[in-house]
């Protein structure tokens, strides 16, 4: 197993890769077919270092693992596509006039010195970086309730 080169190993199991793609609903005419095939090849090579493929049950485990990788990649692609669509829709719906933008910038410039560090972090992360609530908690290494408190205090200041 270890004596075979990577190219020989990949060539030997190439039909398995195509079978995995077919079972996941990805056919040759798909524009991303080669991308999926490359993901499978890389995953196969990484996993084959840990398994002995001479045993039949190991090959079955490899097949399931590769199917899981492809489906996981499909899920991530779908989530990313829906996020992109939401952002594109948001940009089209949220056209802000220059006067409104200037008013908001002026308001924030006057309000900024009065904000606590946490409130500043929340505003910066949401407005400038576009982070979600979970991403803010990870970025600043605080709990979710802390971020929610920052948000609640900001809502009180703005109202």
Q: Domain end: 49, 75, 93, which one?
A: 93
Q: Domain end: 78, 93, 108, which one?
A: 93
Please choose, from the candidates 43, 7, 39, 37, the residue with its C-alpha nearest in 3D space to the C-alpha of residue 21. 37
Cβ neighbours, 10 Å, residue 154: 19
CA-only gyration radius of the chain, Å: 25
Do 129 and 58 lie in one domain? The reply is: no
The total number of structural domains that make up the chain: 2
Q: Domain end: 64, 93, 122, which one?
A: 93
- Return mean pLDDT, the chain: 84
DSSP E strands, the chain:
none
Do 10 and 88 lie in one domain? The reply is: yes
- pLDDT, one tens digit per residue, over 42-59 is 999 888 888 777 776 788
Q: Number of H helices and number of E strands within the chain?
A: 8, 0
Which position has the token pair 């990949």?
A: 10
Range of the domain at 72: 6-93
Do 57 and 120 lie in one domain? The reply is: no
Rounded to an integer, what distance in angstroms lies between the CA atom of residue 149 and that of residue 39? 42
Do 15 and 89 lie in one domain? The reply is: yes
Q: Is residue 1 part of a domain?
A: no
97-109 burial: b if 16+ Cβ within 10 Å, else e: eeeeeeeeeeeee
The whole-model pTM stands at 0.54
- pLDDT, one tens digit per residue, over 67-81 is 999 999 999 989 888
* CATH number, domain with residue 144: 1.10.10
Do 116 and 82 lie in one domain? The reply is: no
What are the CA-CA distances from residue 11 to residues 7, 64, 97, 128 (Å)? 6, 19, 58, 48
Do 149 and 110 lie in one domain? The reply is: yes
The alpha helices in 94-143, defined as continuous H runs, are: 98-111, 117-123, 133-140
- pLDDT, one tens digit per residue, over 108-123 is 778 888 888 888 888 8
| 98 half-sphere exposure, CB direction, 13 A CA radius | 0
**Residue 39 confidence (pLDDT) above 80:** yes
């Amino acid at each position: 197993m270890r004596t075979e080169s990577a190219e020989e190993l990949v060539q030997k199991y190439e039909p398995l890769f195509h079978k995995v793609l077919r079972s996941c609903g990805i056919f040759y005419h798909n524009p991303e077919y080669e991308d999926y095939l490359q993901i499978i090849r890389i995953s196969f090579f990484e996993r084959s270092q840990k398994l002995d493929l001479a045993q039949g049950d190991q090959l079955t485990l490899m097949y399931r693992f590769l199917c899981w990788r492809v489906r996981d990649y499909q899920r991530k692609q779908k989530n990313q596509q829906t996020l992109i669509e939401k952002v594109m829709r948001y940009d089209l719906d949220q056209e802000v006039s220059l006067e409104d933008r200037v008013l908001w910038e002026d308001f924030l410039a006057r309000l900024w010195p009065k904000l606590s560090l946490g409130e500043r972090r929340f505003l910066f992360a949401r407005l400038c970086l576009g982070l979600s609530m979970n991403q803010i908690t990870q970025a600043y290494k605080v709990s979710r309730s802390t971020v929610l408190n920052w948000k609640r205090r900001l809502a009180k200041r703005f109202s």
